[in-house]
Every structure is written in C-alpha cells, then in structure tokens.
A and B are shown apart, each in its own frame.
Chain A
Amino acid sequence: MAATEPVITLKNFFERAREGALTAVRCGKCSALAIPPKEFCESCHQRAWEPVALSGQGTIASYTIIRVAPARHAAEAPYAVAVVQLKEGVSLLGRIVDLPLDKLQVGLPVKFRPLVVNSQTALGFGPA
C-alpha cells in the first residue's frame, strides 16, 4: 500500500461496521488511538496509522432522548442517542437500540450493534 493511501476510509469503516466490526487506528509513533479518518495524529502530528479492531464494549458517557427530530427522522422519534466511551478509550456516538428509554443512565454498559437507518449504515448500541 502506498504511503499516500488512507488506512481506513469512511466507506470501509462503515462497510465493516455493517458486518458488526468497529475499526480504530493507532498511531505507530505515539500510540494514540483515534476514530478514522484522520490524516495526521492529533497528538504527535505524524502519519503512521495502523488499523485496530475495537471490542464494541463501553459505557454511556452521556445520552439524550430526541423527541423533536429532523424531518428525515421524524417517524423514528422518540429515540435515544448516546456518546459511548469504549473500553479502549475512544468514544463513538450512536443510536440506542433494544434498551428501554427510562433505563438509560450515565455509566450504563452497552455494546455496539450495526444499524441501518434510511438505508444508511449508522452506529447503534444495545444491551452489553
């Protein structure tokens, strides 16, 4: 692979996510972990990425229940969206699925599951 080729593009991140796999990138210079795509490492500004598989396991860092939704999601409301801190240290934003809205709380363990919304792959998090 030429040095100018991206390690993980949005396209292949979401293709893998659709199959149930989350992929981060780790900096070969300073070991910082990041969610792709990133051209340079935010910490050391080098470009030495290596793909790393994420477990998909984490806890809710914050969440909200969207009751007034954008036009294209109006039929899905109310729905919950959360920032999930994964056990590897990086975070991802996703839709909460298969969990009662009144059971949500900061710190609740959850696990990644792929979600297709309006025929677009999105990130979902359900019971751990």
Chain B
Amino acid sequence: MRRVAVIGVGVTKFGKHDRTSAELFAEAARDALADAELPPSAVQALYYGNVVGGETEKQLHTGPQAASVLGIPTVPTTRFETACASSHAAFRHAVMELAAGVSEVVLVGGAERVLNVPTAEATEYFAYASDAVWEQPVGLTFPGVFALIARAHMAKHGTTEEQMAHVAVKNHRHGALNPKAQFQKEITLEQVLRSAYVADPLKLYDCCPFTDGGAAVVLASEEIARQRRRGIWVLGSAAASDSMLMHDKRDLARVPATERAAAAAYRQAGLGPEDVDVVELHDCFTIAEIVATEGLGLFEPGTGGLAAEKGWTSLGGKIPVNTSGGLKAKGHPIGATGAAQIVEVVTQLRGEAGPRQVEGARIGLTHTLGGNTATVLVSLFGRD
C-alpha cells in the first residue's frame, strides 16, 4: 500500500451560522486547498460527512451538493453517515483510495447545520442515531446514553461528578486559546457542578453544544506530498463497530469499539499509546473523554477520572488531550467533527498551533465515536 499524507487543512469558525452546511464545507475546503497550494481542479474525489441534513435542512444528497457549491461538481463524491464519526469514516475510506493508487489527491470533509432548529427538535434528530424501535420510544437521548455510561463508570470505578467536571474546565481552558472555537472562555469547577442536570449525572456543562460548522482536509499520495514541506503522514486509520443497542452492551462502563479500533491503528503504525504526543478525542460528554482515555490505552481502565482530576490530560500535562477545546468547547458540528479533529492534530504536528502548541509533538492521534458507541474510528499521524 502507498503512503498517504495530509497536505492541507481548513476549518470554519464553529458556532451559529446563517449559511447552509454546503456553504460551510466550501469555506473550509477553500482554505484547505489554499493551504495545500492546489487548485480545485487537482481534486479527484470528495469523501463527505453529513448527518442530519435530511432533517435540519430538508436536504439529502448532500455530497454532490457540497461539491457543487465548492465548484467541483464533476468530481466523484460520496456522503458518509456513521453518526458523529461520519467525516472520520470518510477520511479512512479516502486514505484507502489513495493507498490503493486509485487517485493522487482526495478531498475529505464534512459539515453540519443544526442551530437553525429549536433545541428539542435538534435533540430529537440526534436521537435518530439510537434505535427507532427499542430506544427512541422510551425517550432515550444522547445525553441519556452517556449518562448511562457515566453512572455505570461511577458504580464500577468510583468516578465522581467532580472528576467529570475537570474535563469540562480543562477543555474550556484549551478552547479559550482556539480562535475557531465556539466557546473561547474559561469556566470554573463550581460553574460546572452548579449547572442544571440534563440527564443525571450529566449536567449542562458536561455536554457539548449544538454547533454549525465545516471542516476539510486535503489528502495526497507520497509523490505529491514530497513536493511540499508541510505534509503530515497518515500512519494508521482503523474503524471498529459494536452492538447498536444499549441493551446488547455487556459492560456499560467500557467502549469496546474504541479498544478494537485503537489496537488496529496502533498495529498499522507500529506504535503504542506511549508514543503519542497529542490527542484529539471524542468528548461529546465529559464522561466520554474519561472512557476514551482508558480505551485508547493512555491510562489504565478505571483511572480516566483520576487523570482528568490530576491534570494529566491538560496542556503541559503527561499527554495533552483536546488542545482545540474538544467537542466540549470548540463545538460539535457532527458531520464535520472527525475532519476538524484531524485539522487540529495536523496543525499541532506542523508546530503551528500557537498558544496551544504541544512542544515537540511528533505523533498525534484522533478518535471519533458514532452514535451509541456503535462506531469508532482511530487514526494516527506523524511528521518526518
């Protein structure tokens, strides 16, 4: 298989926008192409993530629409939907197209628009990623899914609401350093602990916001990457799945798909968790970050809460996690999230992250969850 590199990245400001998701993607893709020093005509395929366009924008076939708005309507385009992991799944398939020698330059990205509908409506559309027969009629929500995981983790490992709150405080501190983040303001432990319950034991500040935004990365073959100075190698990219239904999961305190995807990505790269310098992982809820740091092997099972409390995952800590602010503070436009995480890790590995730079970062990891933890993607990146 051929080596593949990321040679361009772009991301919109995250937050509320009065533009369609296709427009948001096109802005990010324009920046990614400029960053790659390539014209739109160089793009040979578009792999695109978008999730609830059919609901919030009454728009299906969003892949070709996004390509058309960007100005490359004749490029082969496929939309990926694996809930919140959509553009990371798109990325993995684009890597395979390049590795197989089918194309030399492929654009990957995603976008989402949800702030144009009321919160209860958006909550319902997101719940469509849980099961329509077993889970939606009971009234399960996404905060509810992760609240079930949180309660199980608390019962099994003694994880506390205060430890979860530390994740939110840390990610807001990081987000304050990211001009693209939805929230660029620090919060206190007190604020998190005093915020209202959304789905006990998760409170408002344990939850990521609804977000509009787009992100894009340009992938290229080794030959094209070698002609540039800032290429970042894709060292591994793996996907894993698990039972769709909460009732089929044997241990609610774990995300086995994270463990399987991480093992496969580490194997592809010939690396282990001890080699990773910077991580962007799926903190849709604070407990999700705690469970992911365990599943990725960064900390022993059951100690993710302690790691958050001790600041081991903070900028300047043992292994900085979510330097962008994460989904919690940067925001979570679900179709764009996987690509946006890659944008941050590539920026870090290039040494271009400014005040949130992890000094000397050489190896980076991105991790994205989809739905009730039924989809997980993990990718590893490295610089020369």
Contact = CB atoms under 8 A, between A and B. Distances in A.
The secondary structure that dominates the A interface is strand
Given A10-B133, A61-B252, A93-B135, A69 B123 contact: yes
A68 B141 CA distance: 8
A81 B140 contact: yes
A128 interface: no
B123 A71 contact: yes
B246 A94 contact: no
B121 interface: yes
A48 interface: no
B247 interface: yes
A70 B228 CA distance: 48
B140 A68 contact: no
A92 B149 CA distance: 15
Interface string A16-49: 0000000000000000001100000000000000
Nearest to A117: B137
Given A64-B200, A93-B246, A69 B120 contact: yes
B1 interface: no
Contacts of B200: 64-65, 67
A69 B141 CA distance: 7
Interface string B231-253: 00000000000000111110010
A123 B144 contact: no
A53 interface: no
Decide if the interface of chain B is mainly helix, strand, loop or mixed.
mixed
Given A69-B120, A69-B123, 9 more contacts: A63-B148, A70-B123, A82-B148, A83-B148, A83-B247, A83-B252, A91-B248, A93-B140, A121-B137
Interface string B134-148: 111111110110011
B139 A91 contact: no
A61 B120 contact: no
A57 interface: no
A52 interface: no
Interface residues of A, number: 37
B155 interface: yes
Given A66-B144, A68-B123, A69-B123, A76 B139 contact: yes
B138 A95 contact: yes
A53 B127 CA distance: 30
Contacts of A93: 134-135, 138, 140, 245-247
A76 B296 CA distance: 38
Interface string A72-84: 1110110101110
A4 interface: no
Interface residues of B, number: 37
A54 interface: no
Given A83-B252, A95-B138, A106-B152, A67 B199 contact: yes
A70 B52 CA distance: 15
Nearest to A65: B200
The 4 closest A-B pairs by CB, nearest first: A64-B147, A70-B124, A73-B139, A122-B137
B151 interface: yes
B96 interface: no
Interface in A94-122: 94-95, 106, 117-118, 120-122
Contacts of A121: 137
B83 to A, nearest CB: 16
Nearest to B149: A62
B196 interface: yes
B123 A81 contact: no
B124 A94 contact: no
Interface in B271-302: none
B198 interface: yes
B290 to A, nearest CB: 15
B188 interface: no
A105 to B, nearest CB: 9
Contact of B155 (A62, A67, A123): A62
